[in-house]
C-alpha cells in the first residue's frame, strides 16, 4: 500500500522488496484518518485517578510507561504518522 507503479524486485541479499513511487493518499484516507493514535480520553481518566491515589513519583512512572507503550504502536506506521503524534 502506498506505492504507485509497484513492483517486487529481488535484492542483492536475496530478499524481495517493494519498489515504486510513494503515494500515501490511500494510507492517509483509509488507515491513518481512522485510528486514534493516542487514547487521550482513556489517558485522562487514568491520569485523574492516578493523581489522587499515587505519589508524584509513582504517577510519573505510570504516565511514562503508558505513553511509551502508546508511542511503541507507531512503529507499524509511516514516519509521517510519528510526527503527528
Distance, CA of 42 to CA of 81 (rounded, Å): 20
Q: Is the pLDDT of residue 85 over 70?
A: no
- The per-residue pLDDT for range 19-74, each reduced to its tens digit, is 777 777 877 777 777 776 556 677 888 889 999 999 999 999 999 998 888 888 77
pLDDT, position 53? 94
On whether the CB atoms of residues 11 and 17 are closer than 8 A, the answer is: yes
Domain-wise residue ranges, the chain:
1-34, 36-85
Output the nine-digit C-alpha cell for 72.
Answer: 511503541
Highest mean pLDDT among 6-10, 27-31, 49-53, 78-82: 49-53
Amino acid at each position: 500500500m502506498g506505492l504507485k507503479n509497484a513492483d517486487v524486485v529481488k535484492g542483492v541479499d536475496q530478499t524481495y522488496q517493494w519498489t515504486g513511487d510513494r503515494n500515501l493518499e490511500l494510507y492517509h484516507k483509509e488507515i491513518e484518518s481512522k485510528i486514534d493514535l493516542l487514547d487521550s480520553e482513556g489517558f485522562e481518566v487514568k491520569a485523574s485517578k492516578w493523581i489522587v491515589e499515587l505519589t508524584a513519583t509513582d504517577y510519573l512512572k505510570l504516565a511514562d510507561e503508558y505513553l511509551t507503550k502508546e508511542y511503541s504502536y507507531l512503529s507499524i506506521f509511516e514516519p509521517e504518522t510519528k510526527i503527528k503524534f
